[in-house]
Structure 1
């Protein structure tokens, strides 16, 4: 979806890498979006030598945070709840200009909001506070996607770029 959005917006880009452990997702990514590098497992990726990116976009596993699941959060029995911290490791080491992270809106309510607050604190603490981080829950049906899917988005903009001088504004809904 991120590559499709960049294409639709006419934003010039180079797809430097992707990561996905799911074989079907990997096949789809490789056949349709041709990243320069593909990592089979984000947890096995050496972030210190991973390619640099200006924009880092990731969706981390939602099962530990979904209202439809067990809501085990960081204690997820399959280890999915802490993958966000591997993402934070990449952000800390490679310091992209901006990042967009996505998950289910239920993340706000796991452990009475403590899990969300811990993730937000980790993002705001990257590089000693190098990023201005904003978050919002958006429903895809209000932005031109033909499905109702409320998602939590985090946007981080590195403080040394001009875009960080003004607060990030999420887009206004699009009504058809």
Structure 2
């Protein structure tokens, strides 16, 4: 069978792309405006090429190195693959240059699929409160997405976004997107229940996302049916149990050994995938005030209650606003699945407190990556803050893989 290819727009750190690669797709290009996220994709591109060419030890040595030189790593890979990661903001002025770069990679071949979703903050409920919808240019990035559909004419596309896109301006934005892609020659649909949830795909996270899928009008297709993955896996015993216990401010970006054997969940999901060490198990530091609040939050959580910020002892309350965001300190559910990991985790860890009271800290970079189902050999370039942001913005690879497998079936049936 022909290897199917795709272009990833607004690619972030490559979570969606990782799922499509696992499902047998081959990337033509990734387009992303954030440099750290682009560097992460370049490093992951190096991983895939080196592994495929039986040179995985070069990548493993890079992970183990305490003085990582990403440019030296990338030199081991064909230059055009590194250059296929396009670090550009998608705009009217950059489109010709981006198209030109992609055309070089295509070398006359057709495009099977376009994936990706414009930055979702513009459609989020919080984002709307902060900025006038019409004046936020991110709300109109779908128009650029459609230009890629018009130019490359793929069989299908996958457009990922937050549930807020359904209600943004009373559904007006969603209608505009549908109208634009239909004018470009595509049928389009959203899930029967409007969104998909990562936890139904085996991800240990309650994360709802709107996955819009489109196909050429001449193809006889409909929205795919996804089976729900039933399981009883838990964060503490199945996802975190083999990671070294840490206190706030501890840990390292460098390689450290696992402390316990792997678990069935880590094996099934390929999160722990053959290495004897893990990287980026590092925790941000906290002040004494926050640590005391963490202790109270964990104690309440263990008794079946969430902490209400306004009910803290007055000496611990440092925010004047005690009417909204009263859940600003939240414990990850150690005996079930986590609440949604979002990009705000880059700002502070108060919304992602580790459930083990003895450790009394927010979750580490690696723990956040695991909640998002990234494998342990996935390295996030940039600072600790940059890594958290990339992870919070990502599509869980495990969810992406199962979507990709359905898309692959749909394309092959119509080839």
* Same fold per superposition (TM over 0.5): yes
Q: Which has the higher strand share?
A: 1
Match of 2:183 among 103, 125, 128: 125
User: Equivalents in 1 of 2:177, 2:134: separation in Å?
Assistant: 10
Q: Relative to structure 2, which stretch is displaced further, 63-72 or 104-113?
A: 63-72
Structure 1 position 165, deviation (Å): 1.2
What does residue 165 of structure 2 align with?
107
* Gap regions ≥5 residues in structure 2: 1-14, 47-80, 104-109, 232-415
SS in 2 for 1:101: strand
Matched, 1:19 2:31: yes
User: 2:229, 2:22 → 1: CA distance?
Assistant: 15
Identify the residue that residue 37 of structure 1 maps to in structure 2. 84
Cα offsets for 1:42-74 (capped at 9, x unmatched): 221326543352111112111111012226444
The answer as to 2:224 corresponding to 1:169 is yes
Larger radius of gyration: 2
Deviations along 1:113-148, whole A, 9 cap, x unmatched?
11111111112221xxx2221112111111122211
For 2:45 and 2:159, how far apart are their aligned partners in 1? 19
Residue number in structure 1 paired with 2:200:
142
Aligned residues: 166
1:28 alignment partner in structure 2: 40
1:85 CA drift (Å): 0.8
TM-score (ref. length: structure 2) = 0.38
Find the aligned partners of 1:170 and 1:21 in 2 and give their Cα distance. 33
State the partner residue of 2:135: 75
Give yes or no for contact 2:188–2:212 (8 Å, CA) kept in 1. Answer: yes
Equivalent residues in 2 for 1:79-90, closer than 5 Å: 79-90=137-148
TM-score (norm. length: structure 1): 0.84
Higher RCO (Cα < 8 Å, 6 or more apart): 2
Q: Which runs of 4+ in 1 moved over 3 A?
A: 47-52, 71-74
Relative to structure 1, the CA distance from residue 158 to residue 149 in structure 2 (aligned partners, 3 Å threshold; closer, same or farther) is same
Partners of 2:85 and 2:22 in 1: how far apart? 23
Question: What SS is found at the alignment partner of 2:116?
Answer: strand
Contact 1:60/1:83, CA 8 A, preserved across alignment: yes
